[in-house]
Chain A
């Protein structure tokens, strides 16, 4: 009797790229729903548009590169990129912001570098930074954190706003949008107020009172799920959070009037989603255990530095992109010790004789 011959291992494979990405998408659901609850239907509209655009551009690029379109789309990576990008931009940003951002993310940041696995930078963050620096007005349109029933816009109105770029009826942008806590903190400190005075405004809560913290908590839930399912490892998220919290705590203890608390830094912006979902993008992150700790810590410290002394409060994207540049070097410098060798060990002598 004759048989198929195939190479080992002769077992059902443990994972697939598509499956891994699917788990990431599942883990994004609670945070996305929380965000929709607090910031309105625009979040869902954006996610839908983002995913749609991302898949469309991905398919077009894969076809243009003469690769199997369906097999590539099945890796679900474009969906993750589109989804993460959509969560990063303001929920009522006009559709062309998403279109341009995603186009840049998928076409330039991903496929011009060789597609999945070959991109040195996180595509979603590249797209985000492009629209952030190109369209500062549109990128500042964050709605006030209320709850869905109190939201000034219905689902249809949100859709209309996103597609037309203007609010329905006679509503004014000023009435709908608010500064984000990070913006407010920044502006407040620049204009000479103390942290205590700034955080006394209703914009701020402590952990669970206003929308930002809740959203952070739900993304944390998803992140813990990924850790539990071993889709990601603890090194990067823990290092990012400590990288933000430790310097923030140090300066806060030194001068609590001029520096926001570590809890504010960790929960009021994109640190949680950044730590668990963005910095952990395997393609553009460091791959060795020690490298991941350094990589995550670098992102964390950069977030704190950029937020505190830099020009943008949207520090996560910049921090991630900056550390993307360092990742290959980190990998090179943090090679683990090979079994049976001393660290940095001698090359094998006649080991293969």
Chain B
């Protein structure tokens, strides 16, 4: 049913329909509305979950790990400093192959303290063994939760997933969102069927220590599971499309790319602005398009290469920076396009919530046309 919902509530409604049995979360702006909404659903018996009011994000994810290891479907949400506090546990969750789904309401990392949006937080955890999906709008943000659980819990995957959507820009924005019924989601997402769990009737040890004789093999298996998740994502995304009419079979999505000379590459809500700017530029006769990245981990290198085969210039809009190098998305795209001769220009943009308008996207296109890239876009040089 179509409803006008705040992004956070659209996500909470989706999470509710995924029927998590244990929720452990700690409030932090701009994630707060999600966990407050879930707490009310539990309080009103609309959602039959145990809601653990933990004392920190560190304990939130630790409790999720325990709950998942004991056989329950679990949920958490966080952002920025909260995600940083979970760093250690994130690696453990992936290493123990627990299919936890966590929403990231993307926000800048301090210092300086900043509550607004960029994607530095989740990007900084890209190597932890979690799948990372990025949403363009609130419809996608809520839909990706059903898909994330189904992919994460697939026995060929068994990896945790972050569903990332831009703080404030999406979390606090009201949009029409179609929320499937509980019955529809129950049919799409069966109850969690765990593989190895803590159970006194069948004792096993989890999270043991492994010497150099075994450690590498564990890491290899995680990597293999990541690779398998591509196919599962495509299948689950397609199934979702057949059932609900919104197709997510692609880990990337092209917009007016077919005859484009210059392609933007971006993730998250900025894609909407880029699409509008592209429409304007097309009217001016410029052959521009967009490749939206929906899954950053696993990174769809082959799809990126195939989608950008016809373009001569790529302008990546990175809402993050790997300090001392470039933006993280640009590095991935360069890797995917290695050997093709396509020029990849990187623009660090909109850090800490700075607004991006259509004219900024057009300005980036002009810079790219001149071959000027690999820089922060829109720096206020007068305050430097």
Same complex for A and B? Answer no
